[in-house]
Amino acid sequence: MTERDHVTVNDPRGPVNSGEGHQYVYYGADWMIRKGVESLRIGMQDRVRLADRFAPPVGYRAAADRLEKPGSVVLLEAPPGSGRRAAAIMLLHELGEDEGADGVGDRFDELPGTEKEESPLAPAEGDRFLLDLSRITDAEEYGEAQRRLAVHRSQVQEAGAHMVVVLPWDLAHAHAPDLEPHTVKLGRPRGVAVVTRHLRMNGLAFRSADLGGDGLRRLCDRSPLRELARLAGLVRAARDSGRFGTDFAGWLDQAIHAVTDRAGEVSQQVRTVLTAPERALLLTTAVFEEMPADTVYAAWNGLMRTVRHEEETTTELARTDFGARLAELGIERGPDGRLRFARLAYADAMRTYFWANFPGIRDDLRNWIGHAAGLRGLTTDDRVKVVVRFGEHSLAVGRPDHLIDLVVRWTDGATGAPRDPRAVAALELGLGHEGFGGRFRSWMYHCVTSRTLPDSLIRVLTAACLQSLAATHPDQAMVRLRHLAVREGEAAREARKALLGLVGRDHRRYRLLVESLRNRARREPHRSEPQLRLLTEVSRSDRAPDPPPWPVLFRGWETVFSQPPTPLWNPLVRSWLDAAANDPSREAALGGMVAATHGRTAALHRLYAIACDWSGPGRQPSRAAVAARFWEHIDHAQYARAEGTEHAGAGPRTTEEAR
């Protein structure tokens, strides 16, 4: 159990590849021992993993009992480090555990805590929402958040949905009085219980007596729960490395030293290393640990050039050799030719030290990583590790702009360029950060609403929406994908496919997408063609949820058929004719499509012509029967139209209008 989420703790899961192309696993094995970057992801598999490691805090059962009632809103009040966010996630997760296997039970949305939503909440019965306000520190900002919370509460209660809110600890004096009846105070669970559950789920065999040491007891009593989860991850890392003995006691001892002593050890070493090349080599190895020695050497020289260190005038043969430099600094070269520090988690502490204590070189480090993350000799996983290591510390010192700068740099490519896994990793890292996630979401929105974008950036934005944003803010992911999907080109086609996959069988999101496309087509008639093209595709039978939301479909057809007929109508109408031929329950589409024309002659003639072509010259019995029923609806609509215009002297229209 972690303070704000669980994904960064143990057994990290790579992004799901739900489209064409390569799948990149962005987070390596050392992601589990990260500090300073906490993910927002609350997908089903992540919640199941958290459930295996979760130690309920004091007051948890009372909160769960309150949340069971439809329309309930539960507010959690707990100090930082107590596992309050994890408790909120588990409350909502357990509430939906018994739901059906049709995927509906997976539904779990997080609402933005500070920025305003781009679409209405529109909850339905049984929906579950998380609102985490724990990061808010400004009283004025909290007041605005409480006003939005009041609106959300009313909507959730009226719809019979469920919502859990994590309140800010340091602003208890600013809580609105009407929040008190809904508030549950949580107490910190026993630290040793948290460590025990994580160790067991990490596959480590131990005895209860192994956890009785004074050092571990002090950590369990005082450390935030995310640090205890990190400690358990370090025990596993010590075991898996094969460099720290073969018994649990030795692995635990190494992990405790890594948590308690590394910062001081790093500080002492850097103070004794006074030359720029040696300090640069320490930092380079910390960023490129477990990567080939030749690549580290190239990155080291690149860093010295970037910080404008003057080259030595002597030839390299006259200088201290690279191996001797490594040995002097306590850097090992393994049998595989990759470099590492001898002590567990030393590289992480080294990176933390440099980012905290050398603020003047942070811009240089951004420029250095922009080039060094693409060096030859690095695998895709290596490059992504470098980006994650750089990014976590940039975010920790409040420089999200450095990650955004790199995303732009790595995607400033020609049309048709593939997506860059470094850029995807950087963007996903930013989106998953609690403090700066809103900054990255806003930047993405600015990008997708810009006039022009390179294909490589469209692909990166699409991947980030599908693999990261959809897990935490699916409505915002849908909005951004919609803006990308209405563009021209192959990259936009990929965004369109991602959007349709995201909407899938979700009735609520399908309705929001249809309404959004209809509204934009109406508001901007001079720019409506891309919106109508996408709406036409969304309105096909193979795109609609099951069971079909007939009122939503009717409104979509109504907008499409209000325009002059185009060839885009053919796949739309044929898809519903196919559906009606295969499933009698889909026959409602026949009358619905005709009614959506509102008797427009040109539209009716085009529907008639499409049905004729669909039924074929052989007139297969099943198709002929469906076509005949469709034509009956068309005839009734034409007859009603003719009756309505007869007294006005309107003459018959010809099928030429449909051409």
Dist CA 335 CA 342 (whole Å): 14
What is the per-residue pLDDT for 472?
80
Quote the Cα angle for 179-183-187, to 5°. 150
> pLDDT by residue (tens digit) across 292-337?
999 999 999 999 999 988 766 666 665 778 999 999 999 999 999 9
What is the per-residue pLDDT for 618?
66
Q: Which two tokens stand for residue 299?
A: 């990155």
Report which of residues 413 and 573 the model is more confident about.
573
Burial class (CB within 10 angstroms; exposed 0-12, middle 13-18, buried 19+) of 344:
buried
pLDDT at 17 over 50: no
pLDDT at 36 over 60: no
Mean pLDDT on 642-652:
51
**The pairing of beta strand 162-166 with beta strand 72-77:** parallel
Dist CA 275 CA 419 (whole Å): 39
Q: DSSP assignment of 19-57, as one string?
A: SSS-----S-GGGGG--S-------HHHHHHHHHH--PP
Dist CA 385 CA 286 (whole Å): 11
Residues in the chain, overall count: 659
Residue with tokens 């985490």: 132
Phi, psi for 184 (deg, rounded to 5): -120, 130
Dist CA 378 CA 361 (whole Å): 24
Write the Ramachandran bin of 344: left for phi over 0, alpha for psi from -120 to 50, otherwise beta.
beta
Dist CA 330 CA 342 (whole Å): 6
**The pairing of beta strand 162-166 with beta strand 128-132:** parallel
pLDDT category at 135 given cuts 50, 70, 90 is confident
Q: Which two tokens stand for residue 635?
A: 């005839």
> pLDDT by residue (tens digit) across 154-212?
999 999 999 999 999 999 899 999 899 999 999 999 999 999 999 999 999 999 999 99
What is the per-residue pLDDT for 369?
98
pLDDT at 127 over 80: yes
Average pLDDT, the chain: 86
CB atoms within 10 A of CB 464: 28
Q: Which two tokens stand for residue 443?
A: 């930047």
Partners of residue 111 on adjacent β-strands:
131
pLDDT category at 96 given cuts 50, 70, 90 is confident
> pLDDT by residue (tens digit) across 222-267?
899 989 999 999 999 999 999 999 999 999 999 999 999 999 999 9
Q: Which two tokens stand for residue 3?
A: 């303070």
Report which of residues 283 and 437 the model is more confident about.
283
Peptide bond into 547 cis (omega under 30): yes
Dist CA 1 CA 226 (whole Å): 7
The answer to whether residues 76 and 503 touch, using CB atoms and an 8 Å cutoff, is no
Give the residue among 297, 464, 266, 291 at the shortest CA–CA distance from 386: 291
What is the per-residue pLDDT for 43?
64
Q: DSSP assignment of 580-637, as one string?
A: HHH-GGGGHHHHHHHHHTTT-HHHHHHHHHHHHHHHTTTT-HHHHHHHHHHHHHHHHH
Give the residue among 261, 235, 259 at the shortest CA–CA distance from 249: 235
pLDDT category at 505 given cuts 50, 70, 90 is confident
Write the Ramachandran bin of 345: left for phi over 0, alpha for psi from -120 to 50, otherwise beta.
left
CB atoms within 10 A of CB 520: 19
Buried b (16+ CB within 10 A) or exposed e, 637-657: bbeebeeeeeeeeeeebeeee
pLDDT category at 644 given cuts 50, 70, 90 is low
pLDDT category at 457 given cuts 50, 70, 90 is very high
Q: Which two tokens stand for residue 17?
A: 């590849």
CB atoms within 10 A of CB 341: 22
Buried b (16+ CB within 10 A) or exposed e, 286-312: bbbbbbbbebbbbbbbbbbebbeeeee
Q: Which two tokens stand for residue 76?
A: 């959690």
Phi, psi for 77 (deg, rounded to 5): -120, 120
What is the per-residue pLDDT for 32?
29
E strand or H helix that includes residue 163: strand 162-166
pLDDT at 517 over 50: yes
Lowest mean pLDDT among 152-166, 470-484, 637-651: 637-651
pLDDT category at 420 given cuts 50, 70, 90 is very high
Q: How far is CA 298 from the centre of its chain?
A: 34
Share of the chain above pLDDT 70, in %: 86
Mean pLDDT on 628-638:
94
pLDDT at 219 over 50: yes
pLDDT category at 22 given cuts 50, 70, 90 is very low
**Which residues, in sequence order, are CB contacts of 479 under 8 Å at separation 6+?**
118, 119, 445, 516
Q: DSSP assignment of 482-508, as one string?
A: HHHHTS-SHHHHHHHHHHHHHHTT-HH
pLDDT category at 506 given cuts 50, 70, 90 is confident
Dist CA 400 CA 433 (whole Å): 10
What is the per-residue pLDDT for 524?
79
pLDDT category at 414 given cuts 50, 70, 90 is low
Dist CA 536 CA 556 (whole Å): 8
Quote the Cα angle for 179-6-39, to 5°. 80
CA-based torsion, 291, 297, 298, 300: positive or negative:
positive
E strand or H helix that includes residue 339: strand 339-341
What is the per-residue pLDDT for 162?
96
Mean pLDDT on 334-347:
95
Dist CA 321 CA 89 (whole Å): 53
Mean pLDDT on 363-376:
97
Going from the C-alpha of 435 to that of each of 43, 69, 174, 306, 356, the distances in angstroms are: 20, 32, 21, 29, 18
SS3 (DSSP) at 380: helix
> pLDDT by residue (tens digit) across 41-80?
456 777 788 888 999 999 999 999 999 999 999 999 999 9
pLDDT at 440 over 60: yes
Q: How far is CA 216 from the centre of its chain?
A: 35
Q: Which two tokens stand for residue 318?
A: 């006259």
pLDDT at 434 over 80: no
Burial class (CB within 10 angstroms; exposed 0-12, middle 13-18, buried 19+) of 360:
exposed
